[in-house]
Amino acid sequence: MGWTTTGNNGADAVTVLLAGAPDRTHVWYTALASDARFRVVSYATDPQDVKVKLASNPEIVLLDATIYPGPDALMQALAGVSSAVYVFLPPDVPQEIVEQVGSQPAVKASFRGDANLVELAGRMYADALALRRQAPAAPQMWGGGRPTGGTAVAGLRIITVWNRAGGTGRSTLAAALALDAARKGLRALLVGLGAPDVLPLHLGLKPDPNFTHWMQNPTQEGFQAALQQVGSLDVLAGFPDVLSEARAASLPKDDSASVQSLVTTAAYANYAAIVLDAPVGGVAPFAVAASNTLVLVARATLADAWASVEAYRTVVQRAAGQHRIAAGNVVVVLNMRDSGQLTPDEWHQAADAAAKNLGLSGFPPVAAVVPYVADVPVAQDQGRPALDASDAFARPVHKLSDMLFGGARQASGRGGKAIKLGFIKIRKGK
């Protein structure tokens, strides 16, 4: 079977757009993710975004009305929509508005507050199939948009950037995400785990101190002494050679010098964002086990779709009691995409089909697409952050970082107090 043909595995699934605040769409995603009748293909968080995503004709739209300033704007947005739309209105709107919204042709149901999606699923599926019978075949959806952003992470996002395939741009994106978090004013730490690690080179840092210095003195003081800085971002450089990496990989999880202990030590140092740049093998399982979020970086190739599914499977299938990464906290990024390569939707369909072949309920949507930008390796060779190399690279990274860390950019916040950013509570300030 070809990778791009989904066969019976999901080709018939109804495509869904989730539009609303991230905490809301996350709950929806969780309810629909395990239901094979549905495939969440994109997310939208503001009216403009909804408009753009509607252009790809999702069969079902779940719409949180509160992203619109009022009923008029909502009504305008609903005019001419051909999807089956389910609208969730604020709990206190008058009955007449509920009815007005419900009378729009696209709206199949409107609710005050929340509805039980599991109960609603059967009706949604039937509505979508009825529309399918009326309409010519829908064009292929784009698998992009904002995934859930994950379950609520109390105070600290520990992100492992990983894939089973090498050279996908994990180190580049790990550094960019961590730097973007720091520039939002969050206490952020980037941990290199490569051997020899490219992060110091890419960020204009020295190879020393590095992870081996932490291993020699695995205490809070030893950790602080092993750090270097890029602006307000703290960086722990990775291994200088393969031998030291092998030594770290052989340590038991609870050893005081392990990756796990490093993350615990960093957590006590009051970071809001810890980003681990994991290698393909080596200490990767320890990084994954110490994290609550996985950023899967892949190129827009079938080989990388395959590798990504395998990476996803190792993370979520061993989840029972072993790992802390829930399916909703896996964020997929297509990197170095060039014209002519698979579209995000084609890529997602291939990954989704492969995941289903392995008995998984599906594969998470593509959260961001980063194009191939020739200035990125040039900047890295000069020791300048890729984030500063070009807007074409920085834009999707900002989007990802907003999703992971909330939308606030650069604030004062000294004193390590906890604030609410987007859907997660985060510690701010030194």
Applying CB under 5 A, the residues found at the interface with Mg ion are 170-171, 194
Which residue's CB comes closest to Mg ion?
171
Residue type present at position 140: Q
Residues that bind ligand ATP (CB under 6 A): 166-172, 194, 198, 335-336, 370, 372-373, 376-377, 380, 393
What lies within 8 Å, CB to CB, of 400 at 6+ separation is: 177, 295, 331, 333, 367, 368
Buried b (16+ CB within 10 A) or exposed e, 172-191: bbbbbbbbbbbbbbbbbbbb
**Measured from the CB of residue 386, what is the shortest distance to Mg ion in angstroms?**
12
**20 or 396: whose CB is closer to ligand ATP?**
396
**Measured from the CB of residue 377, what is the shortest distance to ligand ATP in angstroms?**
3
**74 or 332: whose CB is closer to Mg ion?**
332
**Measured from the CB of residue 395, what is the shortest distance to ligand ATP in angstroms?**
11
**90 or 377: whose CB is closer to ligand ATP?**
377
Q: Binding partner of residue 393 among Mg ion, ligand ATP, none, CB under 5 to 8 Å per kind?
A: ligand ATP
**194 or 285: whose CB is closer to ligand ATP?**
194
What lies within 8 Å, CB to CB, of 232 at 6+ separation is: 182, 183, 185, 188
Q: Binding partner of residue 151 among Mg ion, ligand ATP, none, CB under 5 to 8 Å per kind?
A: none
**47 or 207: whose CB is closer to ligand ATP?**
207
Q: Binding partner of residue 166 among Mg ion, ligand ATP, none, CB under 5 to 8 Å per kind?
A: ligand ATP
Name the DSSP class of 249: H
Give the C-alpha distances (Å, rounded to integers) separating 396 from 41, 138, 261, 274: 18, 27, 32, 20
Q: Binding partner of residue 125 among Mg ion, ligand ATP, none, CB under 5 to 8 Å per kind?
A: none
Which residue's CB comes closest to ligand ATP?
166
Strand partners, 60: 16, 84
**Measured from the CB of residue 286, what is the shortest distance to ligand ATP in angstroms?**
16
Tokens at 350, concatenated: 């291939």
**322 or 382: whose CB is closer to ligand ATP?**
382
The DSSP result for 332-390, as a single string, is: EEEEEE-TTSPPHHHHHHHHHHHHHHTT-S--PPEEEEEE--THHHHHHHTT--GGGT-
**58 or 200: whose CB is closer to ligand ATP?**
200
Tokens at 386, concatenated: 């890729």
The DSSP result for 124-168, as a single string, is: HHHHHHHHHHHSPPPPPPP--S-----S--EE-EEEEEE-SSSSS
Work out the burial of residue 266: count CB atoms within 10 Å of its CB; fewer than 13 is exposed, 13-18 middle, 19 or more buried. buried
**Measured from the CB of residue 267, what is the shortest distance to ligand ATP in angstroms?**
24
**Measured from the CB of residue 193, what is the shortest distance to Mg ion in angstroms?**
9
**Measured from the CB of residue 43, what is the shortest distance to ligand ATP in angstroms?**
22
**Measured from the CB of residue 335, what is the shortest distance to ligand ATP in angstroms?**
5
**146 or 170: whose CB is closer to ligand ATP?**
170
**Measured from the CB of residue 263, what is the shortest distance to ligand ATP in angstroms?**
19
What is the 3 state secondary structure string of 26-81?
HHHHHHHHCCCCEEEEEEECCHHHHHHHHCCCCCEEEEEHHHCCCHHHHHHHHCCC
Taking Cα atoms as reference points, which of 282, 293, 197, 195 lies closest to residue 237?
Answer: 197
**6 or 228: whose CB is closer to Mg ion?**
228
